[in-house]
Amino acid sequence: MEWNEKLAVGIKTVDSQHKELFKRINNLVRAIKEHRCKSEIDGMLKFLDDYARVHFAEEEKHMKETGYPGIEEQREQHKKYLESLAELKAEASLPRIKCSSYDLSATTNQVVVVWIVDHILKTDMKFGDYLRSKGK
Ligand SMILES: [Fe+2]
């Protein structure tokens, strides 16, 4: 899954951070599929978590500054995402025979891939529309 123009919210920093998130997610999915080592996968998950936190904080700051009324919905979704990521991290840290498992790959797809596409298209896009309607 790659970032494409349909996912453009129209806010430069947000879009470039989304692209970076896609890159990191793709790296993680690839690492899981290729059964790479647990330490590598743990490291990637941590990176993804850190990056998502920075990105969400920035998005929310931007929303606050522009008086965006949908900020609570955003905060809720961001929080849920970080919770799912924490669950994924816990699952990834469980001892296992192989370096990774099918289960982990399925969870990752559900937690990060499906979420981000859905979130950008349905929720972040509304913020982009809001800014455009305000001429910002
Ligand atoms: Fe968001």
Encode pLDDT of 97-123 as tens digits.
555 566 777 778 777 888 899 999 999
CA 78 to ligand 1 centroid distance, Å? 6
CA distances (Å), origin 108, targets 20, 122, 134: 17, 20, 37
CA 55 to ligand 1 centroid distance, Å? 8
Helix runs in 34-136, H state only: 38-65, 71-92, 102-108, 115-119, 125-133
Does 95 have pLDDT greater than 90?
no
CA 98 to ligand 1 centroid distance, Å? 34
Q: Decide: 24 and 51 in contact? Cβ < 8 Å.
A: yes
Can you give the pLDDT at residue 100? 52
CA 18 to ligand 1 centroid distance, Å? 9
Task: Give the tokens for residue 17.
Answer: 């951070």
Mean pLDDT, rounded, for 60-84: 95
Closest CA relative to residue 43, chosen from 35, 31, 56, 54: 31
How far apart are the C-alpha atoms of 92 and 15, rounded to whole Å? 29
For the entire predicted model, the pTM comes to: 0.85
CA 5 to ligand 1 centroid distance, Å? 17
Task: Give the tokens for residue 6.
Answer: 């349909």
CA 52 to ligand 1 centroid distance, Å? 10
